[in-house]
């Protein structure tokens, strides 16, 4: 009897709580996923804004790097380490993308989940679908030269299937990939426009649009919630 009364009280409390909370918070409490909002990259974070003619522009690059350190945490040994006592790596969590495990910054995972839901819903059928086989997120070693700090070190970048999506503007041996002889970036990558646009819809920037033509690479450049 007491157990029944307790259960009834609990149910009433849950319902009341659920009704009185804003949607997103209620969803978080109930374990359901929050609604997805479209987002755009912050312009000053886009690589072409701070690397021009292959040269890193000090002031623009500093602004972008400071923002990343402040927002996501520091990278040991990289500039502006003192700006944030927390490291980016300490805020990285395990996630999955189409069932494949990867490690990403916790602030970026919700946006990636939005991308995945849209891909499942929208990018079906010939010319639209794509099946990832290998994904990568957080990395410990920097791959850039010339002072740039890879967004993989902050855990805010994701690579999809390097062999099928080459970086034709990267250093050797990348440009030797036979795909890089093809005339357009859309022929060099296996990704479909539907896939690229779905990432872009939720604040990811595709480096296939950059001089590097790093077609495997998406980085989250919008403002995290």
Interface contacts to Zn ion, rule CB under 5 A: 159, 217
Smallest separation, CB 113 to Zn ion (Å): 19
Shortest Å, Cβ 154 to Zn ion: 12
The C-alpha atoms of residue 29 and residue 54 are separated, in whole angstroms, by 47
Q: How far apart are CA 215 and CA 190, in angstroms?
A: 9
Q: 3-state secondary structure string, 3-49?
A: HHHHHHHHHHHHHHHHHHCCHHHHHHHHCCCCCCCCECCCHHHCHHH
Burial of 12 (0-12, 13-18, 19+ CB in 10 A): exposed
Q: Which is nearer to Zn ion, 202 or 205 (CB)?
A: 205
Shortest distance, position 219 Cβ to Zn ion, whole Å: 7
Q: State in angstroms the smallest separation of the CB of 138 from Zn ion.
A: 11
- Taking alpha carbons only, the member of 120, 191, 184 closest to residue 158 is 191
Nearer to Zn ion, 25 or 92 (CB): 92
Q: Would you say 105 or 217 has its CB closer to Zn ion?
A: 217
Q: How does DSSP assign 145-164, residue by residue?
A: STT---GGGGT-EEEE-TTT
For Zn ion, give the closer residue by CB, 57 or 150.
Answer: 150
Query: Which CB atom, from 116 or from 159, has the smaller least distance to Zn ion?
Result: 159
What is the nearest approach in angstroms of Zn ion to the Cβ of residue 22?
Answer: 36
Which residues does 209 contact at the CB level (< 8 Å), separation at least 6?
A: 185
CA 16, 22, 25, 28 dihedral sign is positive
Which residue, judged by CB position, is nearest to Zn ion in the bound state?
217
123 vs 157, beta carbon nearer Zn ion: 157
Residue 143 CB, nearest approach to Zn ion (Å): 8
| Residue 106 contacts residue 93 (beta carbons within 8 Å) | yes
């Amino acid at each position: 009897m007491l157990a029944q009364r307790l259960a009834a009280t609990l149910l009433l409390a849950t319902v009341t709580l659920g009704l009185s909370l804003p949607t997103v918070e209620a969803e978080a409490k109930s374990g359901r996923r929050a609604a997805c909002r479209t987002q755009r990259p912050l312009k000053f974070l886009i690589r072409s804004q701070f690397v021009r003619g292959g040269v890193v522009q000090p002031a623009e690059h500093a602004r972008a790097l400071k923002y990343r350190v402040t927002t996501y945490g520091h990278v040991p040994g990289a500039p502006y380490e003192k700006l944030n006592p927390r490291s980016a790596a300490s805020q990285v969590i395990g996630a999955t993308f189409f069932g494949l495990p990867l490690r990403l910054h916790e602030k970026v995972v919700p946006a990636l989940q939005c991308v995945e839901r849209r891909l499942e819903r929208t990018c079906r059928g010939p010319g639209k679908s794509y099946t990832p086989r290998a994904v990568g997120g957080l990395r410990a070693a920097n791959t850039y030269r010339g002072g740039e700090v890879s967004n993989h070190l902050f855990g805010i970048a994701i690579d999809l299937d390097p062999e099928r999506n080459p970086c034709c503007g990267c250093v050797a041996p990348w440009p030797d990939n036979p795909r890089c002889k093809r005339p357009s970036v859309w022929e060099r990558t296996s990704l479909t426009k539907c896939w690229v646009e779905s990432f872009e819809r939720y604040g990811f920037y595709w480096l296939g649009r950059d001089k590097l033509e790093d077609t495997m690479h998406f980085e989250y450049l919008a403002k995290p919630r």
